[in-house]
């Protein structure tokens, strides 16, 4: 990881192809190592600050190599925060990370949500099962969702593939069914017909999957951390829970008892804030502000006019 980051830092300082443009938009998590020319405008769209050196350091920094890498990364990153004229964060949570970890002032940050094709999703005939899907890796914490259903009289469908699948299938009760990789057609169908989506990923910086569910008119039962908790309006389009099986089970039981206040159409309307059109408009506005910030203004006093 460290050698990769050092290579990026070295190679990205000078990219002749970028020097040809008046305005450059960089989309990456690491800071911009690219050194712009005087009058070039640079916008940095950030999906998150690097996770291990910053927001996940307390969870991951238990070994000497990791602590050493994180320390060096933090030290190298900071000087480069001055290069972009403007930063764009993919959520308010990431904007907060930019302020805290990279010391960027709030007036240099815009929030523009990633584009989700929300108009491609829709409700369909409801089925009596809950859905969760993602890459089956430890950070998604699907095991806690599977364990929660061991004591629930409800069916769970698990979509996706990954290193955790065999282990998850071995521990799963009979009311949990694994369907593997889902193509776009199957994913959209299942999102539209599921009773609710369960989402338990660790400290997501944005999270596309809950938005896809909301765009389908489907409530979300999501973990109360990261940006997920801000996508959910409790009692209206879903409920939040802690990442453990007991809390997940309680959220499902509450949803079974109370449902949610918003209709499928109202949940879909809420998801419009994450649309591709909203992204395009947000980025256009951010670029315009960056170009305005970068404009060199040469003012002369009355005695200096020619």
Return the residue matching tokens 């910086």.
Answer: 205
What tokens appear for 33 in the block?
A: 């190592």
| CB atoms closer than 10 angstroms to residue 245 | 21
Q: pTM score, two decimals?
A: 0.86
Contact 72, 55 (CB under 8 A): no
Superfamily for domain range 118-271: Glycogen Phosphorylase B; (3.40.50.2000)
**Strand intervals (E) in 121-247:** 129-133, 155-159, 176-180, 197-199, 220-223, 238-241
Could you tell me the residue ranges of all domains in the chain? Answer: 2-113+277-291, 118-271
CA 267 to chain centre: 19
Output the tens digit of pLDDT for each of the chain's 306 residues: 566 666 767 777 778 888 889 999 988 766 667 788 888 999 999 998 886 777 778 888 889 988 888 888 788 777 667 788 999 999 999 999 999 988 899 999 999 999 999 999 999 988 999 999 999 999 999 999 999 999 999 999 999 999 999 999 999 999 999 999 999 999 999 999 999 999 999 999 999 999 999 999 999 999 999 999 999 999 999 999 999 999 999 999 999 999 999 999 999 999 999 999 999 999 999 999 999 988 888 876 655 554
- Angle among Cα 23, 26, 29 to the nearest 5 degrees reads 160
Instruction: Give the number of other Cβ atoms within 10 Å of residue 261's Cβ.
Output: 11
């Amino acid at each position: 990881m460290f050698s990769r980051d050092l290579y990026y830092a070295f190679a990205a300082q000078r990219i002749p192809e970028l020097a040809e443009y008046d305005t450059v938009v960089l989309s990456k998590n690491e800071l911009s190592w690219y050194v712009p020319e005087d009058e070039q405008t640079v916008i940095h769209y950030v999906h998150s600050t690097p996770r291990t050196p910053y927001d996940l350091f307390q969870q991951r920094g238990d070994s000497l190599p990791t602590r050493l890498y994180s320390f060096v990364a933090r030290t190298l990153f900071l000087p480069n925060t001055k290069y972009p004229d403007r930063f764009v964060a993919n959520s308010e949570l990431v904007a907060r990370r930019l302020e805290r970890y990279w010391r960027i002032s709030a007036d240099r940050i815009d929030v523009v949500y990633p584009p989700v094709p929300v108009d491609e999703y829709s409700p369909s005939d409801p089925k009596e099962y809950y859905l969760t899907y993602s890459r089956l890796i430890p950070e998604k914490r699907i095991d806690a969702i599977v364990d929660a259903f061991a004591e629930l009289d409800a069916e769970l469908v698990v979509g996706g593939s990954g290193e955790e699948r065999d282990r998850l299938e071995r521990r799963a009760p009979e009311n949990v069914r694994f369907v593997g990789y889902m193509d776009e057609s199957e994913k959209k169908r299942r999102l539209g017909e599921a009773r609710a989506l369960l989402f338990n990923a660790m400290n997501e910086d944005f999270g596309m999957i809950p938005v896809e569910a909301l765009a389908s008119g489907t409530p979300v039962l999501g973990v109360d951390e990261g940006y997920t908790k801000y996508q959910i309006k409790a009692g209206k389009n879903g409920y939040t829970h802690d990442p453990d099986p007991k809390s997940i089970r309680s959220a499902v039981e509450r949803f079974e008892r109370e449902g949610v206040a918003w209709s499928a159409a109202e949940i879909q309307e809420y998801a419009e804030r994450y649309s591709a059109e909203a992204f395009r408009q947000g980025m256009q506005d951010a670029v315009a502000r960056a170009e305005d910030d970068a404009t060199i203004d040469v003012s002369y006093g009355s005695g200096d006019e020619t």
